[in-house]
Structure 1
Amino acid sequence: MAKDDLVSIDGKVSDMSGGGVYFITLDNGVDIRARLCGKMKKFRIKVVVGDRVTVGLSPYDPTHGLITHRFKA
């Protein structure tokens, strides 16, 4: 699925797990799992617990997503 097809939703990182998996609490209260997108890995953008992020969700599987942007604090 292309990145243009994803639904973008803002949320907050609530927990980190091994293997680059982040647990995100979305603004609507739903908890999901997410990973970093390729550009964030390439440029070594760090995401820690408490950061506000934008998550791209697939319309077919809304239980996990792709972190596409980290907001500056």
Structure 2
Amino acid sequence: MAKDVLEVDGIVTDALPNAMFKVELEGLKKEVLCHISGKIRMNYIKIVPGDKVKVEINPYSLDKGRITYRYK
């Protein structure tokens, strides 16, 4: 089964409760509500506003996403 996701880079603008973040996408200038993927949560990787991250977005719902990678 193919994985239908869009991978986009963005910058975290706001940290919300329950490991949710607002991320501004670079190419689109759109803000998306994102949660943390399981691998980032298991490895205790901290994400703070201002971090550059990789976001997976479902093409059917473009206003929610999942943070899958934090750049150094």
TM-score (structure 2 length as normaliser): 0.92
- In the aligned structure 1, how far is the partner of 2:5 from the partner of 2:35? 14
CA distance in 1, matches of 2:65, 2:29: 15
Instruction: Find runs of 4+ consecutive structure 1 residues off by over 3 angstroms.
Output: none
SS at match of 2:39: helix
Say what the alpha-carbon RMSD is for the aligned residues. Answer: 1.1
- Listed one character per residue, the Cα deviations across residues 19-47 of structure 1 (whole Å, up to 9, x for unaligned) are 11100000120001000000001111110
Number of positions where the alignment pairs a residue of Structure 1 with one of Structure 2: 70
Partners of 1:6 and 1:42 in 2: how far apart? Answer: 22
Task: Name stretches of at least 5 consecutive residues in structure 1 with no aligned partner.
Answer: none
Matching of residues 1-73 of structure 1 within 5 Å: 4-27=3-26, 28-72=28-72
| Greater helix fraction, Structure 1 or Structure 2 | 1
TM-score (norm 1): 0.91
